[in-house]
Structure 1
């Protein structure tokens, strides 16, 4: 009988998928499942007893909070508090007991601040006491940007800019610097302006007392006087050369201040009083300086020269009465001026003097008794010297010429002839005696020594050119000193620029007189003076220097100018130097123009400057003419 529905399937028949699935599940769970059948329907043997199922875990009992003993808690808390308090107590004992002095000193250091009390810088005056540089009281205005609220910065910047003469953008930028507690707004502020700003009640604004330097005469003797920098030190000229004397010594004051920087009332302070600087009185005469400066500035403009210099010197003392340069430095606007104007060219610029140097050759020849003013030379217009042919300024036929005439007409050839009689060694010695190759004393700032090569190193042509002022370099101050020596009877005096000093009590101390040295005899000096008078006569090259009513002695100079930037000669140096009255010399005046473009001869360009300045100077000093007439001299051969 078939069992197809109730009894199961036939052996070997395929089982439904659902049955197979239940068997697999039962096998995984460890339950009963129909045993698998082997091949051909065989039932495999049993595999052994099955593991009984794991019994469920019992539930955990609820946690029970067991509170400790209150006494124990209190004891632990007391121990902790005692430990902490002991730390505080130990620190307190250390600070107030063991290290009390250290912390006291640190606290004092925090409160105490050292303030500098600036000394008042001394004045610089002319020889009559007129102020050329003076110090006045001023204020240094600063602010703490951290205490200026952002809402009022714009208004504060507008007020400060209007009073201090600065742009609002500049002031606003400083007020915005909240990373710092100090911003300097302006130096050299007028006390009235500073007081007005403080009354405006701007937050954290302060004004410190200081001084500022004023130059009442503006550019008068600007490069000679020099100027003072922001730190109060002299930068150039007399301001630098006499800085220690003028500056004095700053004082100090220790005060106690609070966190806001304000001084704590009733606290102690230590004060060292400042020592004000001394006044320096120059030998310069303000009026003559003005005339010299005016004349050389006008001539530089007319001639198209690069620069010009005038020196006025007292013959008897070698005191410098005027030292002018063109262009000149405006001391009230020195920051805007080119650096080339900072230099006192009259003492520092080195150039080849040209024919003004011929008086030294004449002095060497006369002292050696190789020539006299009346010695006659047969003078062509050129002469061969080593590998060069040297010429006079103008071509001329060979002519007989006295040495006096040669100097008056500035003949290069005749001067070389006289120098050959002297020799290079003796000529070199005379140049040294007149001060060439060494810086002049007397305290003139920036004074240079010039260039004087040893005669043993002169080239063949240089032994000739030095005789008429080429191949040797000097300063205007050195050239003026040569003519002071001749005018002073052959006695050289160191140039002087300082007349004396005045201390804080008002006591004036005159400067010591310059060192005196005899260079040539009085006879030689007198002979050269008569030769120089001839140079200013109608037959000389310096006619434009003549002053009606006065006897004038002088010499023109025209030299090739060496340009250091090009490394070669280019242009000319035109000069004239002389003294008056020639019979009783009182003043020396030198004028120099560098690289003029509208003409180049010294007699044409520099002689008129000499005349203007000398005329003003002798009138200013009320120097009368001596009244004597020039002695008759033999100008030409055959006379």
Structure 2
């Protein structure tokens, strides 16, 4: 039998003790929750309702010389959801009246507004119904994103990101390069990635159990920083003209590829660097020719052929070893003690030619006869000063040939001779353009460049190239060489080219044989024209090059494209016509 506590005071004491014990338990538990475990519980609570969001720092734009965007970043939006919160809701779904909206109706409306697939969205939600994250549709532009927002679906959220677009499409595409899933893949995008790349930031917001963002709960944890703007020297209008010109000519010639360059003589700025075929960075997969991912004008090496004779002639005059009227007896062919032999491109009887006539007729034999007045080392040194045998110092572009030649030529006896007419040595189209910029600029070479610099988000300028000019030959030697090159147009290998009305043009052709490994030279050619205008005060240099043309394998086939592009340049920049006819040196004696 249970003993009953009869003493009221004792019962009261027991109750008081029990209450105190119970309160003590609650106090201890409260202290444990609010003090001991407060931080961890608070973080766990925040983790359940706090949503991290990446704030993307925009990648900087690539612009032409006039500020026209060649590459830019735009906002794109991924639409995401928390599958555990997906349910029917009361809403207007973009309409006028509030109604009960089923999940299926919401997904159908979402698909219509975004251009997505309702079935794919449903599968994404059902894959893990209790999860807090699933993609519904990715990469929406602003128009489609706003259409999604207008639906008012409470359980869909945005994930903002930056996308790269190229407003000019294939115009300059080989120069800008393109972005891929792993970042910058080619061109200026790759070379100047550090300048262009933005720095991402982050923020968080809190949402309630119904998944709706709590007002005023957004907190920035790290500020995003935009990338810099890469300012190029390219004129996008002229770039388009150049690409169209060589594309049309290359297809007519059935050439494998083609390049063109336009240079401002006084500054060394590249106004156009055109390639065919080329890549559209908006649709890289459509380009089947992987060689078109980059600029062949900057990366592909070839034997320049007779365009290099202009540099040899200038070096001879600079050293006082020859003059425009210097006389030479020039046979069709020439043999050497080691068994080597060279010849001109077409048979001719022995001719009495001046140095001017040798350039005019593009005589291999003639240029070597006079060129041997310079030592092998002297000719090599002049070629290096003109910009051959080494990378372009003021151009940052992936895939440029290293071309690390030594201080002295490592040439065989035959190559020593052949180098004077551009055989056995390697150049790029840009390097040939540099030779002619030097001659046009009275013997001062300015490193060719296509980037002015990178303007950072705070307004500073970085990555500006060093474009300090260096003298290669005397002004007199350069001017005399340019004057001789006018004879190429008026009576030499370019005589068949229709004149550009009102302008004196100085130019040189090149028809280089293509080496086929151990087989030697075959029947394929690389044809080119490099020239300047107006000849009496050159403002612009234009080059065109065609690889393996089939319908016309001589430089005359490249002449129409040169004329078209040079005409466009002179007209676009309103260059004043020549005021007098060309005064030419005699070509024969």
CA distance in 2, matches of 1:185, 1:334: 26
Q: Which residue of 1 aligns with 2:59?
A: 121
Residue pairs, 1:578-593, within 5 angstroms: 578-593=531-546
Partner of 2:262: 312
Does residue 552 of structure 1 match 2:505? yes
What's the CA shift string for 1:475-501, capped at 9, x where partnerless? 111110110000000100011212355
Paired residues for 1:238-317 under 5 Å: 238-257=188-207, 262-267=212-217, 269-317=219-267
**Residue 626 (structure 1) aligns with:** 578
**1:409 has 2:335 as partner:** no
Aligned-residue CA RMSD (Å)? 3.5
Q: Is the 8 A contact 2:190 2:398 kept in 1?
A: no
Alpha carbons of 1:227 and 1:157: their partners in 2 closer, same or farther (altered >3 Å)? farther
Q: State the alpha-carbon separation in 2 of the partners of residues 543 and 412 from structure 1.
A: 21
1:139·1:209 contact (CA, 8 Å) conserved in 2?
yes
Kindly indicate whether the alpha-carbon contact (under 8 Å) linking 1:410 and 1:541 is maintained by their aligned counterparts in 2: no
String of CA shifts for 1:222-268, please: whole Å, max 9, x gaps.
Answer: 1112223356x433222222333333332222334456765444547
Unaligned runs of 5+ in 1: 1-68, 72-84
- Please say if 1:357 is aligned against 2:308: yes
Which segments of 5 or more consecutive residues in structure 2 lack a partner in the other structure? 4-22, 89-100
> Which structure has the larger Rg?
1
CA distance in 2, matches of 1:562, 1:154: 67
310-319 vs 622-631, which deviates more? 622-631
Q: Which has the higher contact order (CA 8 A, sep 6+)?
A: 2
Q: Does structure 1 residue 333 correspond to structure 2 residue 296?
A: no
Query: Match for residue 433 of structure 1?
Result: 385
Indicate the larger mover: 555-564 or 89-98.
89-98
After superposition, give the CA deviation of every residue in 1:409-461 in whole Å (9 maximum; x if it has no partner). Answer: 11111122223221211111111111212111223423624647555521221
TM-score (norm 1): 0.78
Number of residue pairs aligned between Structure 1 and Structure 2: 556
Q: Is the 8 A contact 1:344 1:446 kept in 2?
A: no
Matches of 2:39 and 2:480 in 1, distance apart?
Answer: 86
Instruction: Tell me which residue corresponds to 1:48.
Output: none
Structure 1 residue 223 corresponds to structure 2 residue 174 = yes
Q: Residue 364 of structure 1 aligns to a residue in which SS?
A: helix
Structure 1 position 137 matched with structure 2 position 137 = no
- Which residue is 1:596 aligned to? 549
Structure 2 length as normaliser, TM-score? 0.84
| Closer, same or farther: CA 375–251 of 1 in aligned 2, 3 Å | same
User: 1:127–1:221: structure 2 CA closer, same or farther, 3 Å change rule?
Assistant: same
Say yes or no: does 1:636 pair with 2:574.
no
Counterpart mapping for 1:352-391 below 5 A: 352-385=303-336, 386-391=338-343
Whether the aligned pair in 1 keeps the contact of 2:484 and 2:584 (CA below 8 Å) is: no
Q: Distance in 2 between matches of 1:452 and 1:431?
A: 14
CA contact (8 A) 1:406 1:415 kept: yes
Measure the CA separation in 2 of the matches of 1:171 and 1:400.
Answer: 83
SS of 2:282's equivalent? helix
Residue 36 of structure 1 is matched in structure 2 by: none
Alpha-carbon distance in structure 1 between the residues aligned to 2:402 and 2:217: 61
Task: Specify the SS of the correspondent of 2:283.
Answer: helix
**Range that drifts further, 614-623 or 93-102:** 93-102
What is the CA deviation profile of residues 387-410 of structure 1, one whole-angstrom value per residue up to 9, with x for unaligned ones? Answer: 332221111222222121111111
Q: Supply the distance in 2 between the matched residues of 1:547 and 1:324 (Cα, whole angstroms).
A: 22
CA shift, 1:106, in A, is 4.5
Aligned twin of 1:459 = 412
Return 298-307 or 334-343, whichever deviates more.
Answer: 334-343
